[in-house]
Amino acid sequence: MTQTIATRDSQVGAAVYTKTALKLYDFWVHGFSNHYLWNCPTEKLHAIYQRHTSNNHLEVGAGTGFFLKQVPFRVLKPRIVLMDLNQNTLEVASKAIQHYQPAGILVDILAENMPNLPAFDSIAFNYVWHCLPSPPARKNIAFRNVARLLKDGGVVFGATLLMQDTPMNPFAKALMKLYNQKGIFGNEADSREALESVLAANFSRYEIRQEGAAALFSAWK
């Protein structure tokens, strides 16, 4: 089931995910880039999904459904909602976990109004913040929206790539710069402090751990 909500001018960070690009995505991002460019082994991301994903889960930025496929849900029919600004990712991720019959909603996480949905126990927001248009202050609304969709005591988790004060090899640095120029990433001003400040503003407690260029975070409402 796909429900649509009006979107704003933040299409570029999502538009790159064509059906063809999505065929290469898992290999390029989670097979190669995490290990050789961002220095954040993909296992660390699997671990954060295993730790936090509940049976009442929202996935913001569906991608290919790569991590959700591996989560051992403990009920036959968890409630899973996929939210994305791109119809292709909704289709591909829905298919990847079709046995759970996820719902898909086409929504810009930077929109002023979120759809009215029963609140979630867990929300994954993995590798999305760095795709949203810079500067950090402009995209803080994404975490505000996520907090609104979360139950009291619920957790949002994921990772985001930082560009400020982040040691990277020259190729990784050049590629991240290029991604920013193309609008695929919007993280040129993103720092651990900026992430910390938006989490502190929207959640009662949070944890951040840096692995290479990635900041892994968990935050509770």
Contact flag: residue 147 with ligand SAM (CB under 6 A): no
**How many angstroms from the chain centroid is the CA of residue 39?**
18
CA distance 160 to 167: 15
Give, to the nearest 10 degrees, the angle between helix 192-202 and helix 136-149: 40
Q: Which residue, 6, 12, 4, 214, is CA-closest to 132?
A: 12
Please choose, out of 32-40, 58-66, 187-195, 202-210, the segment that lies near ligand SAM by the rule CB under 6 A: 58-66
Residue with Cβ nearer ligand SAM (58 or 199)? 58
Cis preceding linkage at 135, omega within 30: yes
Q: Which residue, 3, 214, 5, 15, is CA-closest to 133?
A: 15
Residue with Cβ nearer ligand SAM (13 or 104)? 13
Residue 33 C-beta: closest distance to ligand SAM, Å? 10
Contact flag: residue 131 with ligand SAM (CB under 6 A): yes
Contact flag: residue 154 with ligand SAM (CB under 6 A): no
Site residue total, ligand SAM (CB under 6 A):
20
Beta bridge partners of 210: 215
Residue 114 C-beta: closest distance to ligand SAM, Å? 11
Contact flag: residue 92 with ligand SAM (CB under 6 A): no
Residue 171 C-beta: closest distance to ligand SAM, Å? 19
Contact flag: residue 136 with ligand SAM (CB under 6 A): no
Element (H, E) at 123: strand 120-124
Residue with Cβ nearer ligand SAM (45 or 168)? 45
Contact flag: residue 157 with ligand SAM (CB under 6 A): no
Q: Where are the alpha helices (DSSP H) in the chain?
A: 12-15, 19-25, 34-36, 42-52, 87-96, 136-149, 170-182, 192-202
Please choose, out of 56-64, 71-79, 164-172, 207-215, the segment that lies near ligand SAM by the rule CB under 6 A: 56-64
Contact flag: residue 128 with ligand SAM (CB under 6 A): yes
